[in-house]
Amino acid sequence: MTLRDRLFAEEADQSQILKELSEAGVSQALVISTCERLDILAVQDADEASSAQAPLQGIEARLRRVMARRIGEDPRVLDEEGYFHRGRAALRHVFAVTSSLDSQVIGEPQILGQVKASHRQALEQNMSGPLLEAVMQAAFGTAKRVRSETPVAQQPVSLIASALQTARDLHGDLSRCAGLLVGLGEMGELLAIEFQAAGLSELTVLHSSDRRAEIASHRFGCHTRPWQELDLALEAADVVITAAGGGRYSLEPAMIDAALRKRRKKPMFLVDASVPGDVAPAVGEMDGVYVYDLDDLESLALAGKVSRETATMAAWKILGEELLRFERKWAERAAAPSVAQLRRHFEAVRDQVLSEGKLDAEAATRLLINRLLHEPSKALRENAAEVTQGPDHDALVRAASHLFGLGECADLAPGEVKKDKDAARHPKDASGCGGESVKE
């Protein structure tokens, strides 16, 4: 059994994983489990993220330990087939998965529903939080834009339509045909669902994991057979969908030849929905067997239509825009407490000035400016004395200029007033910059 099969998690398993993550000190997480992947999206606490601990001493180590216990092996085995993304790379991955840009078939519709189900489960188990919730809402928004603004979502629909039409051309009425699903890849499951909807009279599921086959049979309302009986199952199958994706051929020429003899040369329609393929190339050269892989179906589907490359380029552009939008929005949200605190400080200083008796406008404003600038000026002088040159000093000067919006104001002589050509559109602000600039 492959590592992917051992990590497969149905709903109850996902709930248990969330519970174990919570016990390990992870406060925000969700588990995305599909036929092709098991992803855990987790949020690292701010204190831990800013510490000097090595990555394996923090959240990554916790995730690895939870997964290693699940498969009963050393955590290092996960390095062979797993991945760990941090920060922006993690955001990009979540957006891509939710938008079905990281699927075997770009645009397949099942993944969005699976991600939404994972999100609901995290909410129900109190494993969501401000950052995780913001990420997921942004990911869902990205998926909506990709599906509504690009042709990406049309691709799996077109592939399925091509497969159904080809099967009908070969066998006629599908209600007289029996189907076989070998493996449980995402596209394979999607094809099986659509073939059932199109009238396929019977469906049998096989998987190297009997447990996964049993779960799938309940979902499809169909039969299952042990993996060891693949030869026998092929004999009755008019339509075979392969989606094992084990990295080796599940269907070899000798196996298909034996099945054809039992079928008395009645033709078989094979759809290889795996990448890499499940069907040995030589099978496609045999009489009575019609093998189509995803590229073949795509060629039929995209004749005279927009290419997959064009559609996905537009989708990735949208993803990039939404990623930047999220990062900017979250950064602004993170700065909000500091802005509020700064405003409260300014109001307190203003109240102090007003409480010191009656002052004319010039004296009051001069006193207010002096008090507001006292601490910043002192800090700038002290830091400049410590860092007299180099990138740190330059960065400090640039930060101060940017923070106070100095720009051209810094170049004015004392008492000089600079008139702004666009004064009507840029009224004065508290610093004097805008409609006019004054330097005392």
d(CA 268, CA 167): 9
Q: Is residue 182 within 8 Å of 206, Cβ to Cβ?
A: yes
Q: Distances from the Cα of 212 to the Cαs of 10, 12, 18, 217, in angstroms?
A: 9, 14, 21, 9
d(CA 23, CA 7): 19
- Scanning 72-107, the segments in alpha helix (DSSP H) are 78-81, 87-98
Cα 440 to Cα 374, 416, 418, 421, 434: the distances in Å are 15, 8, 12, 21, 16
Q: How many CB atoms lie within 10 A of CB 2?
A: 14
- Grouping H, G, I as helix, E, B as strand and the rest as coil, residue 16 is helix
Q: Which helix (H) or strand (E) holds 384?
A: helix 361-386
| Structure-token pair, residue 203 | 């469906």
Q: 193-197: long-range contacts at Cβ-Cβ below 8 A with a sequence spacing of 24 or more?
A: 193/220, 194/160, 194/163, 194/164, 195/163, 195/164, 195/167, 195/239, 195/241, 196/220, 196/222
For residue 291, what are the CA distances in angstroms to 108, 163, 283, 285, 287?
A: 22, 11, 8, 9, 11
Q: Which of 35, 177, 409, 433 is catalytic?
A: 35
Is 35 a catalytic site residue? yes
Characterize the bridge pairing of strands 268-272 and 289-293.
parallel
* Tokens read off for 23: 């016990």
CA distance 19 to 241: 36
Whole-number Å distance between alpha carbons of 162 and 175? 18
Q: How far is the C-alpha of 306 from the C-alpha of 308, rounded, in Å?
A: 7
Q: Which residues are catalytic?
A: 35
